[in-house]
A and B are shown apart, each in its own frame.
Chain A
Amino acid sequence: MFSPELKKGSIDLLVLSLLEERESHGYELGKAIEARSGGRLVFRISSLYPVLSRLEERRWIRGRWVEKAGTRRRRYYQLTASGGRALQRERATWQAYVAAVDEVLEPAVTEPAGA
C-alpha cells in the first residue's frame, strides 16, 4: 500500500512511540502497528527487526530476555531516557515534516497557523 521508502522513514518513530506507552516485544510491536493502522501498515521481520537492533545500538531502547513458561523466550524492549528525548525530537521533526508536506500539497485550503 505504502512504498517501502515511505514506511522506512516512519518506522523508527512508530516503534519509539509504541514503546513510550509500555514495554513490548518484537512480534507484539509488529502486530500493534498492523492493528492500529487498520492493516495498512505491515512490517515484515526483515524490516522491523533491524530497526530494533539499530535503536538498541543507539541506546534509545533497551532489550532484555524474558522467559515464559520455561520454554519460550522473548526479548522485551523499553524506552531509555535518551530514547525518550529522541522520541520528542523525532516526533517534532515528523510533525513539522508532515505539516510542510501538507503545505505543499494543499496550499489553498490550509490557513496559516495563527496564534
Chain B
Amino acid sequence: MPDENKRDWRPLVRGGLAAVGREASVGQIEELHALLDDAYRAALDEGCSRAEAERRAFRTLGSWEELARELGLPVRPPQTARGESSPVAWLGGLLHELRLAARGLGRQRGLSVVSVLVLALGIGVTTAVFSVIHAILLAPLPLTHSERLGIVRIDALGQEGLPRISSSNAIDFAGARTLGGLEMFNPGKESLELSGSMTLENAIWVSPGLPDLLGAEVVLGRSLEPSEGEPRSVLISHELFERRFQGDPGAVGSTVTVGDRPAMVVGVLAPGFRFYYEQGRSEPRDVWIATPKPADRGTVFAHRALVRLAPGATFEEASLELDAIAARTRELDGARPDEAAAYEVVSLIDHLVEPYRRSLLALLVAGACVLALVCANVAGLLVVRSLSRRGEWALRSALGARRARIVWAAIAEGLVLSLAGGALAVAIAVAAVSVLRRFEAIALPRLDTVEVDGPVLLFALAATTLAGLLAGLLPAVTSMRASLAVGHRTVGTGRGPARWLVIAQIAIALTLLAGAGALLRTVVNLQRVDLGFDPRGLVAFDFSTPREFFADHEARLRLVRSVAESVGELPGVRSVGVTNRLPLEGGLNLASWSWDDESERSFGELTGSFHRVLPRYFETLGTALLAGRDFSPADTEHRQHVVIVSDSLAGRAWGLDEAVGQHILIEFATGDGGTERRRAEVIGVVPDIREVDLHSDQLPQAYLPYWPESVALDFVMHLVTPDVDLREAISARLAALGSGLVLDDYEPFAARVRGATAERRVALALVGLFATIALVVAGLGLYGALAYRVRQQRSEIGLRIALGASRSSVARRVVGQALAMVAVGLLLGTVAAVILLRVYRSHLFEVEPADPTIYALVIALLLAVGFGAAALPASRASSVEPTEALRDE
C-alpha cells in the first residue's frame, strides 16, 4: 500500500549537517529521519497541512550546530564548495550531488520523464546534424594532404563552376608555376570480362599520374606509370579484387577485357580507398583505366582536372595564373567556345561541399535553437519544481550552507536530466544517421561516411553538458535568491521575459508547423500530379554494348530491335518500348523549333524537348494517343520526317483537332557537333509526359522516330505482374543475343516516381521533426509559465476564493492567461510563417503561402495544446484552499 505521507528527511539531515561542515553515519541519519518523521506524522494526525507539518517537524529538530557538537560528529572533508580540494574529492562531491539530484528527480517521475525526452530529442537532433556536418564538411578527405588538392573549374557555356577543361587547357596548364601536378580523369561505366563472365563496373579513366597525385596506396602490384602503353594498364579496387578475383594475388599481371579491348591489371588499391570527385552522391570506382593525357589541342571541355598546388602556392594564385595562361593561349585555337570562360581552382573539399555548406550550417543553427528552447523550458519546469522546495533552500542557506553548494545542487539537477537525455540522444542520433544514410534522395557527397563516431560522441557530451548547465542555471539563480530571502517569501522572477519566451515558442511552433503543413500538401500534390503515363508495372532497363556495335548503325538498330523483341517474349512482359530518354530521367534533350504554315512566318521560335522512340513506346507507357497514330516500323526504316507532339504543344500551335497533318521545323544538335533543321509532319498527339521532375513547368515535347544513328537508348517494359524481378531472365536473353551485352540500371518506375518526391519528403521529415519538437517544447513552456504563476499567486487566489470567487472563475482566469499568450504567439507566428513560406515558395507545389486550411489546422492544434497545457495549473489553482494558502504566507 503506498504511503501518501511518506517524506524522506535524510537529504535534509545530510544537508543540514553538511552545512555546518559535519557528516553523520548512516545509522545516525536513519534515526534522525525516524525522529523527524514521527514528529511530522504526529502533526499530520493533528490535522495540519503537509507544509505545516513539515514546519513543525523541523522545529522539533533544534539547532544543527548543537546536534553536531553533542554527537561529536567528525568534521566533513572539504568538498565541492572549496576550490582548494583535490580533484578526486571534487569529483566525489560532484557525484554525491548528482546522486542526490537523481534521487530527488526520481520522486517527480512525470516531470523527469518529460524533461529527459525533450532534452533527448533536442540533443539527438543536434547531434545527428553535427554528425553529418562533421563527416561532410569538417573531416579531411582520406587522401594525402587533401587540402592541397584542387579541381579546375570554368564558368562557360552558360554554366558556373563546371569542373571541366579542354585538351588545349590541359596542354597549356601543364607548365603552370602554381601547380605541382595536373592530372585528368573521367568517371563512367565499363564492362569487365574475366574468364568468360562479363559485368558492368564503375570505372574511371585517368591520366597515369592521377593515383600518385591522390596519394593512392597500392597494396598489391604497382601504381600506374607515366608511360603506360598497350595493352592498357588498369588498377582495380580492393573490393573488385575480392569480388571478381576472389583475392587471388595472380590477378596482378593478368590480362582481362575492359570494354572491347584487352587490359592488364597492374595493381590493387588499398581496401576502402575512395576518391570523391562529385558534388553529390557517387559510387566508388572499381576499375581505374590508364589513359594518356591529350597530346593534340582541342577546345571541347571534355576532361575533369585534378591539381595539386605547388609548395607555397594558394588556390587564388593558381586561379589567377590559369586564367592568365588561358587568355594568352586563346589565339592558338582560333575561335574557341571558352572566350568568355573564367578559370578557377578550388580545393577539392570545397568543390564537393559547396552546394550544401550553407544549408547544413543552417540546419545546425536550427538544431541548436531547438536545443536552446528545450533547455529554457526544462529550466522553467525545474524553477516551478524548486519553488515547492524553496523552504528547503532558505533553510539550507540559513543553516549556513554555502551558496555555491546550493547553486551546485540546482545545476546538478539540470545535469542529471541532461545526462539521461544525452544517453537517449545518442541512440536517437544513431537511428537518425542510419536512416539518413539509406535515404538515396539525399545527394550529399560522402554521405556513406556519416556515423556517430568519437568526435560526434564528444560533441554530444559537450551539448549534453551545456544543456544541463543551461537547464540548471535558472533554477540555480532562483534558488540562490530564495536562499537570500528572509523566511519563505516568494521569489520574484522576470515575468515579462518568461512570458515573451513562451510567446516566441508558440510563434516558432506555428511557423514550423505551417512549414510542415505546406510541405505535406506539396508532397501530396506532387503525388497527384498527372504523369502522362501509368508507372504501375513499368520497369526501366538499359544495357551496355561493346564499342564495335557503335560503328555500324544498322547493326545496332537491329540489335536494339532484337533485344526489345526478345525481352518482349519473356513471360510476364506485356510490351517493350525504346527511347533515348525516359520520363522522370531528370534531364532534357533540348531543341528549338518553329512551327509553320508552309512559310514559317508567324510563330517564332520556341525551345522544347525532343525524344527518339521506337513504335509501341507509348503503348508500353500506358499513354493513349489523343489524336493521330503511333510510329510504324516504316517510319524508322525509311527515315520518315514525322513527329508526334505533346498535347500542350499541339494546343498552342494549332489546337488539338487540327494538329495532325501540320508541320514543324525542328533544329537540333547532330552527332558531329553541328545543327540541322528538319521539316516534319505531325502524325499524332500524346498527353504531356513528366520528364525532368514532378513540379517544373512542362516544356513542349516532340517525339521523332528512332533512327539508326540515335545514340543513347533506354528500354522500358510493361510487366503484367509488377513485382516480378526479371533481371536474370533479361541477362540470359542478352547473353544469347551477343557476347558483351550486360544488363544495367534495372529500375521499377514506381521507385523512380517515389524518388521524384524524395527530396521534398526528406525536407518534410526534417521540418516535421523540428515542428513536433517545437510543439512539445512550446506546450511545456506554456505549462511551466502557468504553473509558476499559479504557484506565485497562491495566496492571492486563496484570498479571492475566501472573498467569494467561484472556483471555476479561478480556473477560467488561468486558462484565459494561457490563451492570451497563445493568441499573441499565433498572431506573430502566422505573420512569420507567411513571410517565410513566401521566401521558400519555390520549394512548394500548388500551395499558397497563406493557405487558410493549413493555418486553420495548425492554429486549432496549437489552441488544443494551449488548453492541454493550461488544464493542470488551472485545476491546481481552483483547488487552492483559502486557509492553507493564507497560512502559507
Residues of A within 8 A of B64 (CB): 46
For the complex, give the distance between the alpha carbons of A51 and B67 in Å: 10
Q: Which of A35-71 contact B (CB under 8 A)?
A: 44-47, 49-51, 53-54, 65, 71
B34 close to A26 (CB less than 8 A): yes
Q: Is the CB of A47 within 8 A of B66?
A: yes
Per-residue contact bits, chain B 470-481, to A (CB 8 Å; 1 contact, 0 not): 000000000000
Q: Find out whether the CB atom of A53 lies under 8 angstroms from the CB atom of B34.
A: no
Asked if residues A75 and B34 are in contact (CB atoms below 8 Å), the reply is yes
Residues of B within 8 A of A44 (CB): 60-63
Number of interface residues of A (CB under 8 A): 19
Interface residues on B, range: 20 to 34
CB-CB under 8 A from A45, the residues of chain B are 32, 35-36, 39, 60-62, 67
Task: Enumerate chain A residues within 8 angstroms of B598, measured Cβ to Cβ.
Answer: none
Is B30 close to A, CB under 8 A? Answer: yes
| Residue of A with least CB distance to B72 | A50
Binary interface profile of B, 4-43, with partner A (CB < 8 Å = 1, else 0)? 0010000000000000000000001011101111110010
Residues of A within 8 A of B30 (CB): 65, 73, 75
B71 within 8 A of A: yes
Cβ of A74 under 8 Å from chain B: yes
**Of B28, B35, B67, B71, which one neighbours A27 at CB under 8 angstroms?**
B35
Q: Which residues of A contact B42 (CB under 8 A)?
A: 27
A22 within 8 Å of B by Cβ?
A: no
B34 in contact with A50 (CB, 8 Å) = no
Known: A27-B39, A53-B71, A71-B3. A46 touches B62 (CB 8 A): yes
Instruction: Report whether B66 and A74 are in contact in the complex, using a CB–CB cutoff of 8 Å.
Output: no
- Is B70 engaged at the interface, CB distance under 8 Å to the other chain? yes
In chain B, positions 806-841 with a C-beta closer than 8 Å to chain A are none
Closest 8 CB pairs of A and B: A46-B62, A44-B62, A50-B70, A27-B38, A46-B67, A46-B66, A50-B71, A45-B61
**Min CB–CB distance B629 → chain A (angstroms):** 92
Query: Bound state CA distance, A44 and B70, in angstroms?
Result: 12
Q: Are B38 and A49 in contact (CB under 8 A)?
A: no
Query: Across the interface, which residues of B come within 8 angstroms of A25, CB to CB?
Result: 34, 38
Docked-complex contact A47 and B70, CB < 8 angstroms: yes
Selected from A26, A46, A47, A71, the residue in CB contact (under 8 A) with B31 is A26
Chain B residues with Cβ under 8 A from A50's Cβ? 67, 70-72
Task: Show 26 residue pairs from A and B whose CB-CB distance is below 8 angstroms, ordered by the A residue.
Answer: A26-B31, A26-B34, A26-B35, A27-B34, A27-B38, A30-B60, A44-B60, A44-B61, A45-B32, A45-B36, A45-B39, A45-B62, A45-B67, A46-B66, A46-B67, A47-B66, A47-B70, A49-B35, A49-B70, A49-B71, A50-B70, A50-B72, A71-B3, A72-B37, A73-B34, A74-B38
Given A45-B61, A45-B62, A47-B62, check contact A74 B34 (CB 8 Å): yes
Residue on A nearest B2 in the bound complex, by CB: A71
Tell me how far the C-beta of A23 lies from the nearest C-beta in chain B, rounded to whole angstroms.
Answer: 15
Q: Which residue of A lies closest to B59 (CB)?
A: A44
In the bound complex, residues from chain A placing their C-beta under 8 Å from that of B70 are: 46-47, 49-51, 54
Contact assessment for A53 and B66 in the assembled complex, using a CB-CB cutoff below 8 Å: no
Query: Could you tell me the distance between the alpha carbons of A71 and B61 in the complex, rounded to whole angstroms?
Result: 22
8 Å CB interface, A53-109 against B: 53-54, 65, 71-75
Nearest B residue (CB) for A28: B38
> In the complex, how many angstroms separate the beta carbon of A86 from the nearest chain B beta carbon?
19
Collect the chain B residues with CB atoms within 8 Å of residue A54's CB. 70
Known: A71-B3, A73-B30. A46 touches B38 (CB 8 A): no
Interface flags for B42-76 (1: CB within 8 Å of A; 0: not) read 10000000000000000011111011001110000
Docked complex Cα distance between A49 and B71 (Å): 8
Which chain B residue shows the least CB distance to A73?
Answer: B34
Q: For the complex, what is the distance from the CA of A73 to the CA of B32, rounded to whole Å?
A: 11
Contacts of B72 in A (CB 8 A): 50
How near does chain A come to B5, taking the closest CB pair, in angstroms?
A: 10
Bound complex: CA A38 to CA B70 (Å)? 26
Q: Which residues of B contact A (CB under 8 A)?
A: 3, 6, 28, 30-32, 34-39, 42, 60-64, 66-67, 70-72
* Residues in B neighbouring A47, C-beta threshold 8 A: 62, 66, 70
A57 to chain B, nearest CB (A): 10
Query: Given that A27-B39, A75-B34 are known contacts, is A46 also in contact with B3, CB under 8 Å in the complex?
Result: no
CA distance A75 to B148 in the complex (A): 78
Please, which residues of chain B bring their CB within 8 A of the CB of A74? 34, 38
**A-B interface contact total, Cβ < 8 Å:** 60
Q: Determine the residue in chain B with the shortest Cβ distance to A27.
A: B38
Contact of B34 among A30, A46, A72 (CB under 8 A): A72
Contacts of B62 in A (CB 8 A): 44-47
Q: Which residues on the B side are within 8 Å of A49 (C-beta)?
A: 31-32, 35, 67, 70-71
- Complex Cα distance, B72 from A54, in Å, reads 10
In Å, the complex CA distance between A50 and B62 comes to: 12
Q: Give every chain B residue within 8 A of A46 (Cβ-Cβ).
A: 61-64, 66-67, 70
Residues of chain B with a CB closer than 8 A to A30's CB:
60
Residues on A with C-beta less than 8 A from B28 are 53
* Alpha-carbon separation in the docked complex, A88 to B38 (Å): 31
**Identity of the chain B residue whose Cβ is nearest the Cβ of A51 in the assembled complex:** B70
Identity of the chain A residue whose Cβ is nearest the Cβ of B33 in the assembled complex = A73
Q: How far is the CA of A74 from the CA of B34 in the complex (A)?
A: 6
Please give, as numbers and ranges, the residues of chain B lying within 8 Å of A27 by CB-CB distance.
Answer: 34-35, 38-39, 42
CB-nearest residue of chain B relative to A44?
Answer: B62
For the complex, what is the distance from the CA of A7 to the CA of B233, rounded to whole Å?
106
Q: Which residues of B contact A51 (CB under 8 A)?
A: 70
Cα A74 to Cα B32 in complex, Å, equals 10
Expressed in whole angstroms, the Cα–Cα distance for A44 and B60 within the complex equals: 5
Is the CB–CB distance between B6 and A71 below 8 Å?
yes
**Set of chain A residues within 8 Å of B60, measured between Cβ atoms:** 30, 44-45
Q: Give, as a whole number of angstroms, the nearest-CB distance from A74 to chain B.
A: 5
In the complex, A50→B72 CA distance in Å?
A: 9
What is the CA–CA distance of A25 and B31 in the complex, to the nearest angstrom?
A: 10
User: When chains A and B are docked, how far (Å) is the Cα of A54 from the Cα of B71?
Assistant: 8
Residues of chain A with a CB closer than 8 A to B34's CB: 25-27, 72-75
- Nearest B residue to A65 by beta-carbon distance? B30
Shortest beta-carbon distance from B639 to chain A in Å: 99
Q: Are A75 and B67 neighbours in the complex by a CB distance under 8 Å?
A: no
Quote the shortest CB–CB distance from B20 to chain A (angstroms). 11
Task: Report the minimal beta-carbon distance from B22 to chain A, rounded to whole angstroms.
Answer: 12
Contacts beyond the supplied A45-B32, A49-B35: 11 A-B pairs with Cβ under 8 Å:
A25-B34, A26-B31, A26-B38, A45-B61, A47-B62, A47-B66, A49-B31, A49-B71, A50-B70, A72-B37, A75-B34
Residues of B within 8 A of A75 (CB): 30-31, 34
Most buried by B among A25, A27, A54: A27
Q: Determine the distance from Cα of A53 to Cα of B60 in the docked complex, in whole angstroms.
A: 17
Contacts of B36 in A (CB 8 A): 45
Complex contacts, A72 vs chain B, CB 8 Å: 34, 37
Q: Which of A49, A51, A65 has the most CB atoms of chain B within a 10 A radius of its CB?
A: A49
Residue among B6, B31, B32, B72 with max Cβ neighbours from chain A (10 Å)? B31
With the chains together, A74 CA to B38 CA distance in Å? 9
- B61, closest chain A residue (CB): A45
**Chain A, residue nearest B58 (CB):** A45
- Residues in A neighbouring B31, C-beta threshold 8 A: 26, 49, 75
Per the bound structure, the CA–CA distance linking A72 and B3 in Å amounts to 10
Q: Which of A1-42 contact B (CB under 8 A)?
A: 25-27, 30
Interface centre among B35, B37, B64, B72 (most CB of A within 10 A): B35
B386 CB to closest chain A CB, in angstroms?
Answer: 27
Report the minimum CB–CB distance from A53 to chain B (whole Å): 6
Which of A45, A74, A75 is the most central at the interface, judged by chain B CB atoms within 10 Å of its CB?
Answer: A45
Residues of A within 8 A of B66 (CB): 46-47
Alpha-carbon gap, A83 to B36, bound state (A): 26
Residue of B nearest to A63 (CB): B31
